[in-house]
Structure 1
């Protein structure tokens, strides 16, 4: 039997029921995936909402310039179930590469955040390149300068420090000491 050109085969015609069942099936699949999806690779456990870094006052003198938050992460360093925020900040200068500081903020999401500890002091002249939090620990990748003649826009040293909570105290570990940037 030959069908005229452009005619649909009987089993390929869609009906309203077909589309309704397809929509229900897709909705069910999306719903199951939304509820039962595995955590993303390297995802940190949920620690809740930490203090808002934009509402905190930082011990940084920027003169006429404001403070820029370059990185932030929410962690529960001490494991008490309350989230802390780690904030990397620097002066929002129009030129150059101003040094940065890293601060541990405490206080609930609704409370006024406060700087509980300075992890990296801007006076050390470092630039925060990356902030990595895994929910219970923190790694900061830093850039720096080997001397006063190195242009501030071209850091020539890099290193890595980590913080974790051990025996009731925040402990810093120098994972990678400052070394020359490979060219």
Structure 2
């Protein structure tokens, strides 16, 4: 057998100690990178001098609120909710979609605006959509200080309650001390 002219180099063959050293180095780099992160981004805005409040409170929650909806033997449930400043005072309101927890069928929705009372408890200040309208809300959001929603309804009493056949896109905006509902042009469909 012929021996190589150059002696064997230790680093040309991997041994367990090499893997341990590599794993330790990688773990050290990962630990160091988790410590040396950039500061978190924030979306904080400076207070508008024209607002009534210079600090924003947290949006009111929906727990324990007595919504103006009659559900008989079943309870009212908050189906969806979102928050935003609707009246321009710098404090967020909560908009909640509430319906009865019916065991079957599609119960109609009520859309309510909540704010904080002077003692800090949440309270309903406006009903945007009464459940008696027999509509359900499929999509809603707060955009530019207005509540936008897609309402699903029925053209006649003969339409099965499982299958709404009317779609309306609506918007509620705070104007002159009340919420005004508008329907953008060409958004009603049957």
TM-score (norm 1): 0.76
Is structure 2 residue 75 aligned with structure 1 residue 70?
no
Distance 1:15 1:94 in 2: 56
Aligned to 1:95: 104
Distance 1:162 1:64 in 2: 32
2:189 corresponds to which of 174, 179, 182: 179
Worse-superposed segment, 13-22 or 158-167: 13-22
Q: Say if 1:177 and 1:24 are closer, same or farther in 2 by CA, change over 3 A.
A: same
1:117 corresponds to which of 122, 126, 137: 126
SS in structure 1 at match of 2:34: helix
SS in structure 1 at match of 2:78: strand
1:36 corresponds to which of 28, 41, 55: 41
Q: Which runs of 5+ in 2 are unaligned?
A: 1-7, 45-55
Distance 2:118 2:97 in 1: 18
**Superposition deviation, residue 13 in structure 1:** 4.4
SS in structure 1 at match of 2:90: coil
Q: Which runs of 5+ in 1 are unaligned?
A: 40-46
Distance 2:123 2:173 in 1: 20
Larger fraction in strand:
1
Q: CA RMSD in A?
A: 3.1
SS in structure 2 at match of 1:159: strand
TM-score (norm 2): 0.74
Aligned to 1:51: 60
Q: Number of aligned pairs?
A: 169
Larger radius of gyration: 2
**Superposition deviation, residue 6 in structure 1:** 3.6
